[in-house]
Amino acid sequence: MTKTTTQPVTPVVTPGPIASANADNSPLFGLDAAALAEFLSRLGEPAWRARQFTEAIYRQGVTEITEITTLPAALRQKLLAEGWRIDRPTIAQVFQAADGTERYLIECRPGEATTVESVWMPEGDGGEAGDKSENHEWRRATICVSSQVGCAMNCGFCLTARLGMQRDLTAGEIAGQVISVLARHAVEVGRDRVNLVFMGMGEPLANYDNFMAAVALLVREVGLSPQRMTVSTAGFVPGLERFAQEPDELRPRLAISLNAPNDALRDELMPINRKWPIAAIVEAVRKIPLRPHERISFEYVLLGGVNDQPQHAREVLALPIYAEIRPDEQQTVVGAIAEFLS
């Protein structure tokens, strides 16, 4: 049962046992059409039934095998008798803010005490006028998604770092956060404007295979566009090198969590910098082939008295991250930093 509170409370993640999936009770949520076709073929079913299955659990939001009415009743009973379940991650608790933002504790595995956090951020800028989404209480929304339980990056300003690294989330557990939130807000994929940011708990590129498998599920089975997804990394260079090889039809946009203008300060704030300093990150980023009009973002959290002084702004301006920006865009950046310095 979902519990809702209207006060903006910071949830606490409670460690718990890691459940194992056995052959007789494995969750089916997280399998793509090809994997489901192979699974169903072993049961003597035609491959095309996989599309009925994916349509039900990824687009229609069905959470129980008995509710997939496009499947024969005999097949549904057989799956239940053998212990198979959908097991989509569920929203265990909701924290609501006055501006409509909602934070969720997501239970990834039934009976597991460990939860992760996802966030729904409604926002509209008037640009959606005429696309029929203005009838919603929100016009555009963003879902923030976690990729790991805990995190090994140990960034000094991040609460998740206090948990340490507990485990990677599976592709189904990552995609399931999105689908559960979409279902809660009755989002119509293809009509409603929803963006995804992989900026929750964990370092997505350190859980690369599961992260990209989740992206593939969301693109191919749910129908979301990778150009409405952004993945944020602390600068995990091996993951960036793999990311550069992804095809345009699957690769999300990229954001680098910078947070310091030089290696000395970044070493203190983000220990990963000691292994892959700013220059190594920039070198890896430059190998990523961008789509037309695509940009890579560099994120900078201002920490009072730590990285927010005028000299820090000047150093940011001197970083080798503006080389591909057009002169007029570079002036915009210069102007913004000059305004900060004033």
Domain boundaries, the chain: 33-81, 90-124+138-305, 309-342
* Interval 129-144: pLDDT, tens: 444 444 456 678 999 9
- Helix orientation angle between 208-216 and 171-184, rounded to the nearest 10 degrees: 40
| Cβ neighbours, 10 Å, residue 324 | 12
pLDDT for the residue 329: 67
Which residue in the block uniquely carries the two structure tokens 């007029």? 328
pLDDT for the residue 114: 83
Q: 90-124+138-305 — its CATH code?
A: 3.20.20.70
Q: What pTM was computed for the model?
A: 0.86
pLDDT for the residue 323: 56
pLDDT for the residue 318: 86
The reply to whether domains 33-81 and 90-124+138-305 share a CATH topology is no
pLDDT for the residue 128: 39
pLDDT for the residue 26: 73
Query: How far, in whole angstroms, is CA 200 from its chain's centroid?
Result: 7
CA dist 186 and 304 (Å) reads 40
Q: 33-81 — its CATH code?
A: 1.10.150.530
pLDDT for the residue 13: 33
pLDDT for the residue 14: 30
Beta bridge partners of residue 107, listed in sequence order: 90, 115
* Interval 250-288: pLDDT, tens: 999 999 999 999 999 999 999 999 999 999 999 999 999
- Specify the 3-state DSSP secondary structure of 319: coil
The list of the chain residues with pLDDT below 70 reads 1-25, 124-138, 322-331, 333-334, 337-338, 340-342
- Specify the 3-state DSSP secondary structure of 50: helix
